[in-house]
Amino acid sequence: MAISGTCIVALTDGSTLAIAADSLAADAMDPSSSRSLVCKIFTASGFVCTGAGLMEELNTDFTVKAAFLEACNRFSTLADIGVFVDAEVQRGMATFISGCKIELPEYYERLKCNPVLINVFLAGVVRGQPTLRVTECRLEEGDEVRVAQIPAAPIMHIDHGHTLASFLSTHPDFVPQSRSLPEAAACLVQIACEGNTTVVGGPVDVVAIDATGVHWVQRKAGC
C-alpha cells in the first residue's frame, strides 16, 4: 500500500480559480520505489478534478478519475457530480479498508500524519462564478470511512511534508504580489517539490477556471 506525495494548490480571487499539481507518481513510504510521470488533473464537460492520497495504488477497482468521469457522464452540475464522487470515494475506501492487511491507525502513526485517506478537488462554473469543492475522506474510530466537505478558501493546498504551510506563513503577500493566479499556483507547487524531491516533482500542470469555462495554462504531453 502506498501513500502519494502529490502536491495540489488551488488559488482564487473570486473571478478566477487556478489549480496546479505536480506529476510524480511515487510512494512516500518508499522513496526508492519506481517513479513515473502521471496526469493528476482531469477535465471533462467543463469540470476539473484532482486529488491526493491513497488513490491509484489501491487493491480495488476504485479510482477518483473513474468516479469523476462517470459523474460527468451522468450529471451536469458541480453539486451533483460532487455528491456522486463523494459516494464513490466512500464506497471504494470502505471496500479497501475491509480487505486491508495492516492496521491503518498504526500505519498513519508511522507516517506521523492524520488519517485522511483521500482529498478530492472538484471545480467548475456555478452561476457564472468559478467554484471549488474540496472534500476529504477520513478514517474514523472503528475503521469507519467518512467523507466531508472542507470550506473553500482563497488558498487551498495539499502537500507532503507541509512545505507550503511554512512558506506561506513567512511570505503572506506571495500570492497577491504574483503576476497571475496560475503563475502563483505553479510556483507554489514548485516550492513544495523543491522541499520534497523524493516524492513530488516533474512538470507542473495548471488549469484556470473563469466565467467562460476551463482553460489549460500548462499541460504536459499525454494529459
Q: pLDDT (tens digit, 9 = 90+) per residue, 70-81?
A: 999 999 999 999
Amino acid at residue number 66: A
Closest CA to 97 of 134, 62, 67: 62
φ, ψ (nearest 5 deg) of residue 56 = -70, -20
Looking at the domain assignment, is residue 2 inside a domain? no
Q: Could you tell me the pLDDT band of residue 197, with boundaries at 50, 70 and 90?
A: confident
Local confidence band at 58 (pLDDT 50, 70, 90 cut-offs): very low
Nearest to 163 by CA among 196, 210, 186: 196
Amino acid 88: pLDDT? 92
DSSP state at residue 204 = P
Band of pLDDT at residue 54, cut at 50, 70 and 90: low
Does residue 203 lie within any of the structural domains?
A: yes
**Is 80 exceeded by the pLDDT of residue 99?**
no
Instruction: Give domain status of residue 73, yes or no.
Output: yes
For residue 142, pLDDT beyond 80: no
More reliable by pLDDT, 102 or 89: 89
pLDDT score at 218: 95
Q: Tell me if residue 142 falls in helix, strand or coil.
A: helix
Q: What is the pLDDT of residue 216?
A: 97
Structural domain contains residue 1: no
Residue 188 sits in a domain whose CATH number is 3.60.20
Q: Confirm whether 220 is domain-assigned.
A: no
Residue 194 has pLDDT above 70, yes or no: yes
The number of C-alpha atoms within 13 Å of 220 and in the hemisphere containing its C-beta is 15
Task: Specify if 77 maps to a domain.
Answer: yes
Digit-coded pLDDT (tens) for 179-191? 899 999 999 999 9
The mean pLDDT value of the chain amounts to 84
**pLDDT value at residue 211:** 96
Across the range 20-33, mean pLDDT stands at 70
Triad 41, 47, 49: Cα angle to 5° = 30
- Domain assignment present for residue 219? The answer is no
Quote the pLDDT of residue 97.
72
Task: Quick: pLDDT tens for 159-176.
Answer: 866 789 899 999 999 998
Above 80 in pLDDT, residue 193? Answer: yes
Residue with cell 488551488: 10
In a domain, 221, yes or no: no
Residue 12 CA to its chain's centroid (Å): 16
- Residues 100-127 as b/e (b if ≥16 CB within 10 A, e otherwise) read eeeebeeebeeeeeebbbbbbbbbbbee
| Spatial distance between the Cα atoms of 30 and 147, rounded to a whole number of angstroms | 27
Q: What is the mean pLDDT of residues 208-216?
A: 97
Greatest alpha-carbon span in the chain: 48
Helices (H), the chain: 64-74, 78-98, 104-111, 163-170, 174-177, 181-195
Residue range(s) defining the domain that contains residue 106: 8-33+41-210
pLDDT confidence band for 83 (50 / 70 / 90)? very high
**φ, ψ dihedrals at 6, nearest 5°:** -55, 140
Q: How many domains does the chain have?
A: 1
